[in-house]
Amino acid sequence: MTDLVDTARRPVIIGNCSGFYGDRIGAAREIVDGGPIDVVCGDYLAELTMLILAKAQAKDPSTGYARTFLAQVEQVLGTCLERGIKIVSNAGGLNPAGLAAAIRAVADKLGLQASVAHVEGDDLRGDLGAIVPAVEGTPVSANAYLGGWGIAAALGAGADVVVTGRVTDASLVVGPAAWWHGWTPTDWDALAGAVVAGHVIECGPQATGGNYAFFSEVKDRRYPGFPIAEVAADGSTVITKHPDTGGLVSPGTVTAQLLYEIQG
């Protein structure tokens, strides 16, 4: 487990490797190899994704998670363990326990010792009475959005990899930042800052020019690099990307992404 006293001396560096299910498969390798990071996170879930995962689970109950994430883990797990980089993702979808088991199998195949944790409790399909107003029929999926504290607890317990089902998108940053800095649920200002950081990087290269209306400002139009949030102990954050990657990080691209998250 990382020493909170030592890590509080500097920001935690969290790199995103996925903005959606089907995003660039090589992004995890790029973000891990491209420069120093402490955590690699990825967002895989949207309403359409939940439908896709539900259809897969209906055919095979052992599935229901984002299989592309499993391939990415296989590419980077050894390097992450060697460098102490944590992996955090909501790729568990409808079956986070199943994904955790699959990751353990990958680690075994690679001859690696990895502590893999999963966060559950979001799936309400077995308890539709918890939903108000009452639900008619049988929903494809029914999930509560969990926060980041389960992720923080798993990391605090020594997990190298944490996978979840439906958590708030920003929790993939808030949870690791809370663990790293030792925040409590009443550290409102710091948590609010991490929520902003989480929303900026959650959609991947949208924050680095991929969804920016003023595209003439983006001089490097190679595939945009994936974003990184350097979250300080007070919740203030620097948004950046690895050197020699495409796209642009500017007040404009970051503000546009934040507005995208706030507005329709």
Hey, CA dihedral for 78, 157, 105, 30, is it positive or negative? negative
pLDDT, tens digit only, all 264 positions of the chain: 344 445 447 999 999 999 999 999 999 999 999 999 999 999 999 999 999 999 999 999 999 999 999 999 999 999 999 999 999 999 999 999 999 999 999 999 999 999 999 999 999 988 888 788 888 888 888 999 999 999 999 999 999 999 999 999 999 999 999 999 999 999 999 999 999 999 999 999 999 999 899 989 999 888 899 999 999 999 999 999 999 999 999 999 999 999 999 886
CB of 163 closer than 8 Å to CB of 119 = yes
DSSP 160: S
Domain locations along the chain: 4-262
Q: Which residue type sits at 42?
A: G
User: What three-state secondary structure class fits 157?
Assistant: coil
Largest CA distance in the chain: 53
Strands 12-16 and 227-231: antiparallel
Nearest to 89, CA basis, from 34, 128, 31:
31
Residue pair 108/134 in contact by the 8 Å Cβ criterion:
no
CA distances from 82 to 9, 43, 50, 86, 102 (A): 22, 24, 33, 11, 20
